[in-house]
Amino acid sequence: MKRTVTFFSVIGLVMMMMLFLILIGCQKKQPQVNINQDAIEEAGGGEFETVYWYVKAFNPQGQLLNVMAVDEGGHTYEVKAIQDSDQTSVMDVKAFVNNKILPVKVLVSLDKYLPVKAIDEDGTILDVKAFTADGQKLDVKGTRQSGNIIHLNVVDEEGLLYNIEAISPKGWINDVKGIKMLKEPIEMTINGVDVYAHIKSIPQQY
């Protein structure tokens, strides 16, 4: 009887040891994840990468028209809104001309509609036009003023007005408007050209 008890006791002890070793082995095989908090913070703290928004006009049929700066020789240059930070509430609108980034402004004028132009470093004025699918060039003008906001539109041959918007690469849409900061007619003078209002990309106005 004693031998039987001893035999089963030894068997039980051996089984317990084997189970213990198996558990230890399983624990050693568990994957270890090393989280480097410094690396995470470094990856998330990089500088903002500038985003360029396309400036387009919408005709009554819903078609998009390119808005471009045009020099005396007929060469065309892109006009874009520049997002250089996380905010998209107020963004500059510029013309990209031969590696130069030129201001686009509403100019002082006694005409019914105010001219919208790009101003080169030497004071040369470049037209800003919208291009239809068949190659027609349409004027971009300041058509009316509400408070300190000048509404900008493309004006076609029949006098119809097209809205102008800035569109981000991800599809976000802002209005493109003239913004007047001062009560005086001349907001500022850039390279000898009198400016009536700045042009900015701002949230859509309803």
Beta strands in the chain (DSSP E): 51-58, 64-70, 76-83, 91-97, 100-107, 114-119, 125-131, 137-146, 149-155, 161-167, 173-179, 188-190, 193-202
Q: For residue 46, what pLDDT band results from cuts at 50, 70 and 90?
A: low
Q: What is the pLDDT of residue 204?
A: 87
More confident residue, 62 or 77: 77
- Looking at residues 169-175, what average pLDDT do you find? 96
Which of 60-64, 123-127, 201-205 has maximum average pLDDT? 123-127
Report how far Cα 75 is from the mean position of its chain's Cα atoms: 25
pLDDT of residue 206 exceeding 80, the answer is: no
**pTM, entire model:** 0.76
Q: What is the pLDDT of residue 193?
A: 98
Domain boundaries, the chain: 2-32, 51-202
Q: What is the pLDDT of residue 43?
A: 39
- Looking at residues 185-195, what average pLDDT do you find? 97
How much is the mean pLDDT over the chain? 84
pLDDT of residue 3 exceeding 80, the answer is: no
